């Protein structure tokens, strides 16, 4: 049976693959949305931190023999820690100023991180072995689905929904959301707002690092891996609504699927379809699909 | 951008002070005399980028809008000029005009989409739209994709003066640069510029005074885009090449850096900033990827400790606008 | 360490050599510029290794003893045509460089080709792919060494079809280089009686090939032709392994693969890949000796065919200058075409009127991990394509220099 000239089998295969891509978009845009929601800073360094996560996993494996499963835990913590340092030493100095300075700072940091790694490792990319337990795959009939890719979807969903739950449904999350709206008042209630902000930034960055570890076995671990990806993720966040957590998650997965479909029907446009959607969304709903006007 | 948070440096638009006149003479004098000792092609490159940075600065310094996609105007004009000169046989002044006009049209389209948003949203929109332009340039047959448009003839100015050699091309580029610079100066110090400044300082008050704020911002955006296009078109004739680098987002980042280093919202800042960055790129070229690292460090240092930029600091010290 | 010795030798040559023979050498120095991608996706293919290869060639030529002063400078074109042409312009106008070598990346190479012609210098390209350099963009100032898209397409394409891979599906990088490679390979496949079942274009620098590979799988073509290069090829191969493509019975044809790519992939992912190269370090004793010396100065990384091309190109260039006692670009290139070449890496060969260097090509297959006995022991030579068949026939190129 054919839909628009593509056999259903192939179509479902592409949808599934789109979902996998969407997992990365969702994880990354979640981190960005969390950071923007609380700090009002566009974290341009996000792409470099994603790359850092992959490299930390690579280094953990090659220098310390620490495998994938431990890296899933350690790499986000390490990368998140670098985020904490960045926030404490540099970002916090900029809160009193126009938010655009934060954008410029993180842009500069991204250049530094990417440049240093480019010098060390060149651009060719390092191989990272797929963990044993997840290699191989199963034949689903309409396509051969590698186990690792299935794992990516599941893990990403769990992390995204978990984060959403913490932010929207728990007390800690409510403090975070309150601090976004009125930091002085929340501080007056005795909550250490600056520390919360630092940890939030660290958490968002850690999410980027986690995405990096998960990407390492399937994409090349290369210094440039985050550079062009980050712009797409920005578009995802803008479409979803810049401060909306659920918006980032849904849009991430959704756009992954749309991009996957575009690759089937009109591959040359697969790079631009997300930006086109962004332009349309901005015309109709400037705050994004799920966002509220700030 | 409105509100109580200390914003980006506000340009004080008054009449041309003596200091500004002196600075202009120094700058013009430098570019007139320098080709005797400095490689002219390098200087022409410098002038193109300086004009680009000045056009960008018009938007951020005087309207308060950070465009993170200005490379699209620079690059599209470069392609348009290259194509018209090479394939349609335009003479250089027509080719550059065509390039500039293309950038202006693109500026209008982008402006209509983007101008309603402010601050970070505006920056993100311009970035994403610039990415679309980049991918368009990547795919469109006339741009030559990764090859770019090569072997662009410089042609004969007005059909008479052959621009192939640097000795004739240089005065032409110099004239364009100084002309563009003075035009920007004039825009800033005109009644139009005053309204822009008012909008920047307190948009709601400007609205209440009856100014159609959106139209003013759009017009400023288009002007900025057009002048960026002028720089881009000229550059593609200087190097006889138009390529994807000119529309890539890293180019947008570079022009932001140039303005930041030189001094946002100052008249001469972008020129100095462009000089610093281009020279640095030239001399550090042997170090390969370290250039990126150094540029990143400059960004970080400027944002944290040196927000006024070189000219901004000088202007602050002598308490006169520059 | 080797590098220090070489630069000391070159320095000594500069300090000592004067000689009346330099009377017609511009400024008394033969200045060689090695322009490559020093820090990005081609850095391992060319990069600093090319500079090393050039210096080794200068040393082996014995410039010092012959009283010739030779200087080697290098620069990074960052894969950008504007950076490359900017540097080249400065080199020619200000720094008095006489010849440019290497330049991987066809876009940059075409720009340098044009500029070199305008300035009357010499350009010996060992890194770029575009067959246009000896076709419609051919120039009396350019020699195209090592390989080109026609050779790759016909070498790999023909050989694979003849060994049974007669149905193809293309995964093509969506820009001029990829289109050209796909076009040339399709022509070669059809000429040999094969069929092309489908093609899909992917954007340059794609991270994720899963959807394209899925289409390739469902086409059931026997061969999936990868008309891309560098990181895209590596990603395609890696992800093809993940999706069980080779295990499922289809084979991958890398249209442009280098030794450094295989090293980056690892044998377990790259095994079974079939492609064409014009140099492999393990061909004979001379290539092995070169490889050992080269690796010692290059962090243990063995030479790719691009590095070999730079070495051989510099050697032949210097021999030509020695013969005609001038470094005028156009004249030297003419001399290089007149003399047959002979170097330890490519053996004996010639340079045609259109600037194309002719030498044999080798169809190689990547070994399985179990078959590899030492570092960089990666290839099995499946076939040798004789020099007169490896490259596009002279008349078919559309080069204006060919009468």
Closest by CA position to C177, among listed C92, C256, C273, C85: C256
* Tokens (6 digits) for B194: 């005053």
pLDDT-based confidence at A3, cuts 50/70/90? low
pLDDT-based confidence at B151, cuts 50/70/90? confident
Chain B residue with minimal CA distance to A109? B296
Distance CA C274, CA A129 (A): 23
**Gap from B262 CA to chain A (nearest CA, Å):** 15
Assess contact for B294 and A116: CB atoms under 8 A.
no
Q: Are A127 and C264 inside 8 Å of each other by CB? A: yes
Distance CA C82, CA A274 (A): 29
Span A156-169, average pLDDT: 91
Helix boundaries (H) for C192-276: 210-219, 231-242, 259-265, 267-270
In a domain, A80, yes or no: yes
User: Looking at residue B81, what is its pLDDT?
Assistant: 95
Residue of B139, B241, B285 lying closest to C85 (CB–CB): B241
User: Looking at residue C197, what is its pLDDT?
Assistant: 93
User: Looking at residue C7, what is its pLDDT?
Assistant: 46
Touching partners of A (3+ C-beta pairs < 8 Å): B, C
**Gap from A51 CA to chain C (nearest CA, Å):** 13
pLDDT-based confidence at A1, cuts 50/70/90? low
Assess contact for A229 and A275: CB atoms under 8 A.
no
* Tokens (6 digits) for B70: 């200005």
Does residue B288 sit at the A interface (CB-CB below 8 Å)?
A: yes
Q: Are B147 and C106 inside 8 Å of each other by CB? A: yes
What do you get for the CA distance between the two ends of chain C, in Å? 49
Q: Are B41 and C90 inside 8 Å of each other by CB? A: yes
In a domain, A67, yes or no: yes
- Among positive and negative, which fits the CA dihedral B195, B199, B201, B205? positive
Residue of C41, C203, C242 lying closest to A270 (CB–CB): C203
B positions 273-292 inside 8 Å of C (CB): 285-286, 288-289
Residue of C80, C87, C94 lying closest to B243 (CB–CB): C80
Does residue B9 sit at the C interface (CB-CB below 8 Å)?
A: no
In a domain, A284, yes or no: no
Distance CA C315, CA A131 (A): 48
Does residue B305 sit at the A interface (CB-CB below 8 Å)?
A: no
**Gap from C278 CA to chain B (nearest CA, Å):** 25
β-bridge mates for residue C351, sequence order = C357
Span B250-276, average pLDDT: 92
In a domain, A181, yes or no: yes
Distance CA C275, CA C156 (A): 5
Does residue A242 sit at the B interface (CB-CB below 8 Å)?
A: yes
B positions 258-277 inside 8 Å of A (CB): 260
Chain C residues close to A118, C-beta within 8 Å? 39-40
User: Which range marks the domain in which residue A72 is found?
Assistant: 7-112+145-227
Chain B residue with minimal CA distance to C115? B151
In a domain, B265, yes or no: no
Please list, residue by residue across C242-265, b when 16 or more beta carbons sit within 10 angstroms of its beta carbon and e when fewer do: bbbbbeeebbbbbbbbbbbbbbbb
Chain C residues close to B285, C-beta within 8 Å? 75-76, 83, 87
Distances, alpha carbon C56 to alpha carbons C38, C127, C323, in Å: 18, 18, 20
% of residues, chain A, pLDDT over 70: 96
Q: Are B285 and C75 inside 8 Å of each other by CB? A: yes
Q: What is the mean pLDDT of chain A?
A: 86
pLDDT-based confidence at A46, cuts 50/70/90? very high
pLDDT at B82 over 90: yes
**Gap from A186 CA to chain C (nearest CA, Å):** 43
In a domain, B234, yes or no: yes
User: Looking at residue C15, what is its pLDDT?
Assistant: 38
Query: Considering the entire predicted model, what is its pTM?
Result: 0.84
What is the count of residue pairs from A and C with beta carbons less than 8 Å apart?
97
* Tokens (6 digits) for A203: 């958490």
Does residue C164 sit at the A interface (CB-CB below 8 Å)?
A: no
pLDDT digits (tens), chain C, 403 positions: 455 544 444 444 443 333 333 447 777 889 999 999 877 777 788 888 999 999 999 999 988 888 888 999 998 887 888 888 888 998 999 899 999 999 988 888 989 999 999 899 999 999 988 888 898 889 999 999 999 989 999 888 888 898 888 899 999 987 777 888 898 899 999 999 999 999 988 877 777 788 888 889 888 899 999 998 877 888 888 888 888 888 888 888 889 999 988 987 888 888 888 899 999 999 999 999 999 999 999 888 999 999 999 999 999 999 999 999 888 999 999 999 999 999 899 988 999 999 999 999 998 999 999 999 988 999 999 888 898 888 999 888 889 888 7
Q: Are C110 and B246 inside 8 Å of each other by CB? A: no
Span A246-264, average pLDDT: 89
Assess contact for C321 and C339: CB atoms under 8 A.
no
In a domain, A97, yes or no: yes
User: Which range marks the domain in which residue B133 is found?
Assistant: 13-248
User: Looking at residue C14, what is its pLDDT?
Assistant: 42
**Residue C30, phi then psi, degrees to nearest 5:** -95, 110
Q: What ipTM did this prediction achieve? A: 0.84
Pairing of the two strands C167-173 and C223-227:
parallel
User: Looking at residue C21, what is its pLDDT?
Assistant: 39
User: Looking at residue A264, what is its pLDDT?
Assistant: 78
Q: For B176-207, what is each residue's pLDDT tens digit?
A: 999 999 999 999 888 998 888 888 888 888 88
Q: Are C238 and A127 inside 8 Å of each other by CB? A: yes
Domain count, chain B: 1
Chain B residue with minimal CA distance to C119? B165
Q: What is the DSSP string of B152-179?
A: ----EETTTEE-SSHHHHHHHHHHHHHH
Least confident segment among A126-130, B222-226, B298-302, C335-339: A126-130
Q: Are B5 and A97 inside 8 Å of each other by CB? A: yes
- Give the count of beta carbons closer than 10 Å to the beta carbon of residue A194: 14
User: Looking at residue C99, what is its pLDDT?
Assistant: 95
Assess contact for B310 and B263: CB atoms under 8 A.
yes
pLDDT at B119 over 80: no
Domain count, chain A: 1
Domains of chain C, earliest start first: 26-147+283-359 (3.40.50.2300), 150-277+361-390 (3.40.50.2300)
* SS3 state of residue C168: strand
**Residue C227, phi then psi, degrees to nearest 5:** -90, 60
Span A137-154, average pLDDT: 83
pLDDT-based confidence at A235, cuts 50/70/90? confident
Distance CA C139, CA C149 (A): 18
User: Looking at residue C1, what is its pLDDT?
Assistant: 46
User: Looking at residue C44, what is its pLDDT?
Assistant: 82
Q: Are B285 and C204 inside 8 Å of each other by CB? A: no
Q: Are C111 and B138 inside 8 Å of each other by CB? A: no
Closest by CA position to C219, among listed B321, B80, A13: A13
Pairing of the two strands A137-139 and C357-358:
unpaired
Residue of A94, A242, A286 lying closest to B116 (CB–CB): A286
Residue with tokens 């799920």, as numbered in its chain: A290
**Gap from A4 CA to chain C (nearest CA, Å):** 15
Q: What is the mean pLDDT of chain B?
A: 87
Residue with tokens 């023909």, as numbered in its chain: C158
pLDDT at B4 over 70: no
Q: Are B303 and A94 inside 8 Å of each other by CB? A: yes
Residue with tokens 């006339």, as numbered in its chain: B142
Q: Are A144 and C43 inside 8 Å of each other by CB? A: no
Chain B residues close to C38, C-beta within 8 Å? 288
Q: Are C111 and B150 inside 8 Å of each other by CB? A: yes
C positions 295-314 inside 8 Å of A (CB): none
**Gap from C361 CA to chain A (nearest CA, Å):** 25
- Give the count of beta carbons closer than 10 Å to the beta carbon of residue C164: 11
Closest by CA position to C168, among listed C194, C135, C138: C194
- Among positive and negative, which fits the CA dihedral B244, B250, B253, B258? negative
Q: Are A222 and C264 inside 8 Å of each other by CB? A: no
Residue of C44, C202, C266 lying closest to A127 (CB–CB): C266
Query: How many degrees, rounded to 5, is the angle at CA B1 between CA A291 and CA B2?
Result: 105
User: Looking at residue C13, what is its pLDDT?
Assistant: 42
In a domain, A273, yes or no: no
**Gap from B246 CA to chain C (nearest CA, Å):** 9
Higher pLDDT, A112 or B10: A112
In a domain, A175, yes or no: yes
In a domain, B58, yes or no: yes
Element (H, E) at C385: strand C379-385
pLDDT at B79 over 90: yes
User: Looking at residue B5, what is its pLDDT?
Assistant: 42
Distance CA A144, CA A141 (A): 7
User: Looking at residue B11, what is its pLDDT?
Assistant: 54
Cβ-count burial of B5 within 10 angstroms (0-12 exposed, 13-18 middle, 19+ buried)? exposed
In a domain, A208, yes or no: yes
Chain B residue with minimal CA distance to C108? B147
């Amino acid at each position: 049976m054919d839909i628009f000239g593509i056999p259903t089998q192939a179509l479902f295969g592409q949808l599934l693959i789109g979902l996998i891509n969407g997992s990365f978009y969702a994880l990354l845009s979640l981190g960005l949305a969390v950071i923007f929601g609380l700090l009002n800073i566009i974290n341009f360094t996000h792409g470099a931190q994603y790359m850092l996560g992959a490299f930390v996993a690579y280094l953990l494996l090659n220098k310390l023999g620490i495998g994938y499963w431990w890296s899933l835990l350690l790499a986000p913590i390490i990368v998140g820690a670098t985020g904490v340092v960045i926030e404490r030493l540099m970002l916090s100095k900029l809160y009193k100023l126009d938010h655009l300075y934060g954008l410029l700072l993180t842009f500069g940091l991204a250049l530094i991180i990417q440049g240093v790694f480019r010098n060390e490792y060149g651009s060719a990319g390092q191989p990272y072995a797929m963990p044993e337990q997840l290699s191989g795959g199963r034949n689903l009939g309409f396509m051969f689905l590698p186990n690792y890719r299935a794992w990516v979807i599941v893990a990403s969903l769990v992390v995204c929904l978990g984060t959403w739950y913490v932010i929207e449904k728990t007390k800690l999350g409510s403090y975070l959301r309150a601090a976004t709206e009125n930091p002085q008042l929340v501080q007056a209630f005795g909550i250490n707002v600056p520390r919360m902000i630092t940890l939030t930034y660290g958490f968002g960055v850690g999410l980027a690092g986690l995405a990096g570890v998960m990407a390492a076995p399937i994409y090349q671990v290369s210094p440039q891996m985050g550079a062009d990806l980050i712009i797409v993720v920005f578009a995802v966040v803008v479409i979803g609504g810049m401060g909306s957590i659920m918006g980032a998650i849904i849009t991430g997965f959704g756009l992954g699927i749309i991009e996957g479909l575009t690759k089937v029907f009109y591959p040359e446009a697969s790079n631009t379809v997300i930006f086109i959607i962004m332009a349309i969304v901005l015309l109709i709903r400037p705050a994004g699909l799920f966002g509220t006007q700030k | 951008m409105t509100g109580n948070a200390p914003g980006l440096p506000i340009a004080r638009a008054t009449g041309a002070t003596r200091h500004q006149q002196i600075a202009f003479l120094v700058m013009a004098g430098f570019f007139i005399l320098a080709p005797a000792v400095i490689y002219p092609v390098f200087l022409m490159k410098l002038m193109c980028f300086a004009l680009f940075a000045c056009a960008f600065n018009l938007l951020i310094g005087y309207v308060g809008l950070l465009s993170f996609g200005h490379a699209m105007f620079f690059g599209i004009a470069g392609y348009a000029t290259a194509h018209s000169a090479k394939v349609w046989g335009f003479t250089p002044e027509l080719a550059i005009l065509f390039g500039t006009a293309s950038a202006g049209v693109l500026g209008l389209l982008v402006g209509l989409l983007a101008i309603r948003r402010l601050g970070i949203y505006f920056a993100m929109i311009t970035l994403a739209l610039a990415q679309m332009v980049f991918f368009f340039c990547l795919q469109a047959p006339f741009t030559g994709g990764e090859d770019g448009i090569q072997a662009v003839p410089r042609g004969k100015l007005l059909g008479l003066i052959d621009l192939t050699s640097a000795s004739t091309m240089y005065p032409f580029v110099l004239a364009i640069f100084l002309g563009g610079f003075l035009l920007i100066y004039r825009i800033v110090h005109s009644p139009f510029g005053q309204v822009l400044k008012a909008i920047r300082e307190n948009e709601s008050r400007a609205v209440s005074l009856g100014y159609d704020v959106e139209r003013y911002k759009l017009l400023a955006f288009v002007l900025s885009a057009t002048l960026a296009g002028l720089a881009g078109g000229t550059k593609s004739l200087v190097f006889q090449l138009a390529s994807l680098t000119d529309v890539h987002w890293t180019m947008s980042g570079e022009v932001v850096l140039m303005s930041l280093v030189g001094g946002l919202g100052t008249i001469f800042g972008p020129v100095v900033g462009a000089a610093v960055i281009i020279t640095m790129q030239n001399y550090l070229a042997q170090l390969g990827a370290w250039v990126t690292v150094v540029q990143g460090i400059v960004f970080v240092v400027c944002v944290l400790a040196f927000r006024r930029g070189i000219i901004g600091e000088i202007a602050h010290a002598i308490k006169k606008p520059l | 360490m080797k590098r220090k010795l070489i630069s000391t030798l070159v320095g000594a040559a500069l300090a000592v050599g004067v000689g009346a023979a330099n009377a017609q050498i511009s400024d008394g120095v033969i200045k060689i510029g090695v322009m490559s991608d020093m820090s990005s996706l081609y850095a391992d293919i060319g990069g600093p290794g090319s500079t090393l290869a050039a210096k080794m060639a200068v040393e082996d030529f014995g410039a010092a003893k012959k009283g010739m002063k030779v200087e080697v400078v290098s620069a990074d074109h960052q894969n950008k045509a504007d950076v490359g042409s900017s540097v080249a312009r400065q080199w020619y106008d200000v720094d008095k460089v006489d010849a440019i070598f290497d330049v991987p990346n066809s876009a940059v190479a075409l720009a340098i080709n044009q500029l070199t012609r305008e300035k009357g210098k010499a350009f010996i390209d060992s890194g770029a792919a575009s067959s246009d350099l000896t076709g419609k963009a051919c120039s009396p100032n350019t020699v195209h060494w090592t390989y080109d898209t026609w050779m790759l397409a016909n070498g790999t394409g023909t050989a694979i079809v003849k060994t049974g891979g007669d149905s193809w599906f293309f995964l093509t990088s969506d820009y001029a280089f990829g289109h050209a490679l796909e076009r040339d390979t399709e022509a070669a496949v059809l000429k040999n009686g094969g069929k092309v079942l489908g093609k899909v274009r992917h954007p340059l620098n794609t991270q994720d090939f899963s959807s394209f590979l899925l289409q390739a799988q469902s086409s059931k073509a026997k061969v999936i032709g990868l008309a891309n290069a560098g990181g895209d090829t590596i990603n395609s191969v890696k992800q093809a392994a993940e999706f069980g493509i080779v295990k499922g019975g289809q084979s991958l044809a890398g249209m442009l693969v280098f030794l450094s790519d295989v090293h980056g992939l690892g044998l377990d992912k790259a095994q079974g890949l079939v492609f064409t190269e014009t140099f492999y370090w393990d061909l004979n004793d001379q290539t092995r000796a070169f490889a050992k010396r080269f690796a010692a100065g290059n962090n243990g990384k063995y030479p790719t065919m691009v590095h070999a091309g730079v070495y051989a190109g510099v050697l032949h260039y210097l021999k030509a200058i020695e013969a005609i006692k001038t470094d005028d670009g156009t004249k030297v290139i003419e001399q290089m075409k007149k003399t047959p070449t002979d170097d330890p890496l490519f053996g004996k060969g010639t340079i045609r009127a259109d600037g194309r260097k002719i030498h044999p090509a080798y169809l190689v297959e990547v070994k399985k991990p179990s078959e590899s006995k030492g570092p960089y022991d990666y290839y099995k030579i499946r076939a040798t394509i004789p020099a007169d068949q490896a490259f596009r026939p002279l008349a078919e190129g559309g080069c204006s220099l060919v009468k």
